[in-house]
């Protein structure tokens, strides 16, 4: 089949073309080029594509080409989180305008009554599995007449434990329907899900480049846990932009936001412990650019689709490789340039290597020279060996004995047994202490102190 370079070259309804024009979209993205026509032709689809690829329109356009409107719910899109539901709804509303077809988003945390009212006037429902089930059990949502069943970000839905919910909903829909499954990654359980419900689906996998986020420069920064904030602040000063910062936990996100604010940065957190109203407000202000620094957890960030994110920072390295891809996909959307920077502590080096294997690409190190508003401290832990010992090198004017060194240490509250090897050389002494005592040891009253680097960060060959 000929490649369609412009939407106008595709056999699409005039109303669809008008709404695309109104949005300023003329050229289909890769996934749109590949998926729209087969989907309009009625095929089940399994598509590996990440957020940012234009995947949403690649399933919405076929839906609008094939449904009539005015006869109840004809299509359902299941998504993992509310923000994504809102986003898909927005895109559907734009495309549906000229068709006169309404879409409703349903998710928890807001009034169900309003959603019930809207369902009656809509043809497409976009929702999180929990709320969809709730509405179905109340008899407010009936899927007997659906023609399309879309699973968006399926991998994430399974990660969040929605498999049984999806099956429950699926079993209450007609046999004859078209299923479209979208997922950034294709683990076995997704493949099984597809095999169980689909009829000879068309499988699309976007090129590795688009999976590992083309247009995004990726770096890592070595930093001890203690200095992450200082490094982040240095980055914010060095490279002003629109930042999305990932932490592993909700508390972590809140803490980073609070600490940055204390230093005068306008930073806000986005996580699941916030009320829906607060999340929506924060999200909107971030979208509008009133907030330029947002700190989020993986779950809260799902489906964040914000223009102009210049930097994605993995403040905590992601636990799963695929989260890395999800996270950095938030920048450099549709080929615009963006930077993804991962903070890596010494313990996290293996995590970095796994990510590199997964994306089949080496991530170069980045050094941040300029200081930020937050002072860096020496993170002795970063220099410790596997036993937690750090070696300090003191310059000496005159020779001292081991005993004298131990005495000086004792004055700092460091016991003999907390001191390891002591090497006496010409004009210096190297003393091993536990990293938790290193700061005190460095104040033991010698002229000059250096940390002896054991560069375990270097790639070991072989
Ligand atoms: P998605 O991957 O569906 O989350 O889409 C990412 C972003 O790209 C959304 O803001 C879309 O509105 C936008 N987008 C989708 N398709 C196109 C297109 N063909 N041209 C320009 N922007 C698009």
The pTM for the full model equals 0.58
pLDDT of residue 44: 96
Tell which atom from ligand 1 comes closest to the C-alpha of 53: 2
349 C-alpha to ligand 1 centroid (Å): 34
> Nearest Cα to 179, choosing from 165, 161, 167?
167
Residue 400, Cβ density class (10 Å: 0-12 exposed, 13-18 middle, ≥19 buried)? middle
Residues 6+ apart with CB under 8 A from 248: 297, 298, 316, 318, 319
Crossing angle of helices 55-66 and 30-40, in 10° steps, is 20
pLDDT of residue 461: 34
- Name the one residue in this structure whose structure tokens are 């190297």: 430
Rounded Cα distance, 196 and 401, in Å: 75
Task: Please report how many Cα atoms fall inside a 13 Å half-sphere around the Cα of residue 281, on the Cβ side.
Answer: 7
298 C-alpha to ligand 1 centroid (Å): 21
Looking at ligand 1, which residue's alpha carbon is closest to its atom 1? 54
Between strands 448-451 and 148-151, the pairing is unpaired
Q: pLDDT under 70 in the chain at which residues?
A: 1-3, 207-215, 302-304, 331-337, 454-462
Question: Are 58 and 51 in contact, with CB atoms under 8 Å apart?
Answer: no
Tell which atom from ligand 1 comes closest to the C-alpha of 51: 2
Looking at ligand 1, which residue's alpha carbon is closest to its atom 15? 54
pLDDT of residue 362: 83
Per DSSP, the residues of 379-407 read: -GGGG--TTSEEEEEEE-SS---HHHHHH
In 109-174, DSSP assigns E strands to 124-127, 148-151
Question: What architecture does CATH give domain 7-205?
Answer: 3-Layer(aba) Sandwich (3.40)
pLDDT of residue 449: 85
Tell which atom from ligand 1 comes closest to the C-alpha of 55: 3
> Nearest Cα to 185, choosing from 166, 163, 158, 164?
158
Q: Is 216-359 the same fold as 7-205?
A: yes
List beta partners, residue 429: 394, 424
- Dihedral sign (CA 55, 61, 66, 72): positive
Question: Are 291 and 282 in contact, with CB atoms under 8 Å apart?
Answer: yes
170 C-alpha to ligand 1 centroid (Å): 28
153 C-alpha to ligand 1 centroid (Å): 15
Reported as a single tens digit per residue, the pLDDT across 399-437 is: 889 999 999 999 999 998 889 999 998 889 999 999 889
What is the best residue among 56, 60, 90, 183 to mutate for testing ligand 1's pocket, by most ligand atoms within 8 Å of CB? 56
Crossing angle of helices 112-121 and 129-137, in 10° steps, is 80
Domain ranges (residues) in the chain? 7-205, 216-359, 380-451
Residues 6+ apart with CB under 8 A from 295: 245, 246, 247, 253, 254, 256, 257, 260, 267, 268, 269, 270, 315
The residues lining ligand 1, judged by C-beta closer than 6 Å to any ligand atom, are 25, 27-29, 32, 51-57, 91, 305, 333-334
35 C-alpha to ligand 1 centroid (Å): 14
What is the best residue among 5, 16, 29, 54 to mutate for testing ligand 1's pocket, by most ligand atoms within 8 Å of CB? 54
Tell which atom from ligand 1 comes closest to the C-alpha of 307: 10
> Nearest Cα to 170, choosing from 103, 86, 107, 76?
76
34 C-alpha to ligand 1 centroid (Å): 15
Looking at ligand 1, which residue's alpha carbon is closest to its atom 8? 54
Backbone angles phi, psi at 389, to 5 degrees: -95, 140
Question: Which CATH code for domain 216-359?
Answer: 3.40.50.300
**Neighbour tally for 3: CB within 10 Å:** 8
Q: Which helix (H) or strand (E) holds 416?
A: none
pLDDT of residue 134: 97
Question: Are 443 and 462 in contact, with CB atoms under 8 Å apart?
Answer: no
Question: Which CATH code for domain 380-451?
Answer: 3.30.70
């Amino acid at each position: 089949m000929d490649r369609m370079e412009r939407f106008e070259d595709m056999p699409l309804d005039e109303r669809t073309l008008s709404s695309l024009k109104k949005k300023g979209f003329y050229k289909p993205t890769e996934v749109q080029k590949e998926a729209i026509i087969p989907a309009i032709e009625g095929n089940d689809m399994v598509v590996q594509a990440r957020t940012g690829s234009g995947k949403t329109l690649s399933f919405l356009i076929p839906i609008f080409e094939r449904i009539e409107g005015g006869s109840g719910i004809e299509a359902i899109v299941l998504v993992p989180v509310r923000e994504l539901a809102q986003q898909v709804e927005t895109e559907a509303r734009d495309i549906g305008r000229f068709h006169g077809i309404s879409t409703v988003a349903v998710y928890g945390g807001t009034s169900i009554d309003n959603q019930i009212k809207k369902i009656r006037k809509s043809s497409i429902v976009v929702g999180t599995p929990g709320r969809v089930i709730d509405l179905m059990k109340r008899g407010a949502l009936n899927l007997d007449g659906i023609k399309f069943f879309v699973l968006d970000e399926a991998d994430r839905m399974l990660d969040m434990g929605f498999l049984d919910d999806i099956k429950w909903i699926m079993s209450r829909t007609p046999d004859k329907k078209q299923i479209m499954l979208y997922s950034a990654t294709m683990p076995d359980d997704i493949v099984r899900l597809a095999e169980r419900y689909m009829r000879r689906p068309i499988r699309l996998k976007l090129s590795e480049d688009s999976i590992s986020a083309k247009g995004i420069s990726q770096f890592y920064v070595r930093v001890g846990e203690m200095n992450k904030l200082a490094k982040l602040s240095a980055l914010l000063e060095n490279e002003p932009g629109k930042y999305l910062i990932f932490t592993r936990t909700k508390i972590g996100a809140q803490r980073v936001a609070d600490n940055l604010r204390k230093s005068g940065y306008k930073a806000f957190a986005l996580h699941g412990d916030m009320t829906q109203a607060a999340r929506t407000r924060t999200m909107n202000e971030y979208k509008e650019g009133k907030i330029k620094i947002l700190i989020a957890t993986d779950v809260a960030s799902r489906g964040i689709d914000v223009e102009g994110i210049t930097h994605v920072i993995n403040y905590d390295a992601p636990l799963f490789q695929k989260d890395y891809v999800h996270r950095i996909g938030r920048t450099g959307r549709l080929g615009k340039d963006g930077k993804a920077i991962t903070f890596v502590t010494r313990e996290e080096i293996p995590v970095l290597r796994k990510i590199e294997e997964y994306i089949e690409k080496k991530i170069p190190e980045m050094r941040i020279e300029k200081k930020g508003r937050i002072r860096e401290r020496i993170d002795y832990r970063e220099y410790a060996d596997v036993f937690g010992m750090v070696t300090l090198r003191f310059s000496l004017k005159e020779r001292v004995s081991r005993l004298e060194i131990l005495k000086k240490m004792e004055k700092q509250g460091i016991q003999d047994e907390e001191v390891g090897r002591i090497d006496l050389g010409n004009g210096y002494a190297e003393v091993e202490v536990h990293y938790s005592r290193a700061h005190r040891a460095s104040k033991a009253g010698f002229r000059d102190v250096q940390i002896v680097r054991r560069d375990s960060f270097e790639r070991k060959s072989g």
